[in-house]
């Protein structure tokens, strides 16, 4: 469903399982930090709201979106986590760089999901403009961080 048809922050909490027994890793790209840190803050708030203890939320930072895959791999190998969320923002520019980065990160996160026994959540915004990213990081379309946190909880507890 297109984001313009759904608010990323709206969900029915009745369908979110108790997350008090899980731990979550979050890897955040520093590039476009003004957007990514809003995603991070919303995710942490949502995880805690559903029972994840603050001591069971681990956060690491990587330089940019392309480095998210390796950062997520290290998170899964170095911490006892039940899910890993990747946050980054890639904004369309004048060169094909956008396409290469988006494809690489998408493929990398997909591969991690197949290589590990925990879910890796794709919380990467791929937008045409800065305004579109802002709209999805607490703006008119809600916050992708909330959606990613709920997805991490549901996938970590999937049986």
Tokens linked to 69: 């895959």
116 Cα distance to chain centroid: 17
At 21 the pLDDT is 97
List the CATH code of the domain at 27-156: 3.40.50.960
The answer to whether residue 50 is catalytic is no
At 5 the pLDDT is 72
| pLDDT means over runs of 10, the chain (159 residues) | 74 93 98 98 98 98 98 98 98 89 96 97 97 96 97 94
Give the residue among 73, 26, 65, 71 at the shortest CA–CA distance from 45.
26
CB within 8 Å of 96: residues ≥ 6 apart: none
At 95 the pLDDT is 85
At 7 the pLDDT is 87
Number of Cβ atoms within 10 Å of the Cβ of 44: 18
Tell me how many helices (H) and strands (E) the chain has.
5, 6
Catalytic one among 97, 111, 130, 131? 97
Total residues belonging to the chain:
159
| Strand-pair category, 83-91 with 24-29 | parallel
At 96 the pLDDT is 86
At 108 the pLDDT is 98
Tokens linked to 84: 């890993």
At 4 the pLDDT is 67
Cα separation of 112 and 56, whole Å? 21
């Amino acid at each position: 469903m297109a984001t313009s048809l759904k608010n990323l922050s709206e969900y029915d909490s009745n369908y979110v399982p108790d997350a008090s027994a899980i731990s979550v890793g979050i890897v955040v790209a520093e590039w476009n930090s003004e957007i990514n840190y809003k995603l991070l803050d919303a995710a942490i708030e949502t995880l805690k709201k559903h029972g994840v203890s603050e001591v069971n939320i681990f956060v690491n930072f990587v330089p940019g979106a392309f480095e998210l895959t390796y950062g997520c791999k290290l998170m899964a190998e170095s911490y006892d986590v039940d899910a890993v969320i990747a946050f980054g923002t890639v904004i369309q520019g004048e060169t094909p760089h956008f396409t290469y980065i988006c494809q690489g990160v998408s493929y990398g996160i997909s591969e991690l999901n197949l290589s590990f026994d925990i879910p890796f959540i794709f919380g990467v915004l791929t937008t045409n403009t800065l305004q579109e990213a802002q709209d999805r990081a607490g703006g008119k379309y809600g916050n992708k961080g909330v959606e990613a946190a709920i997805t991490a909880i549901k996938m970590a507890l999937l049986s």
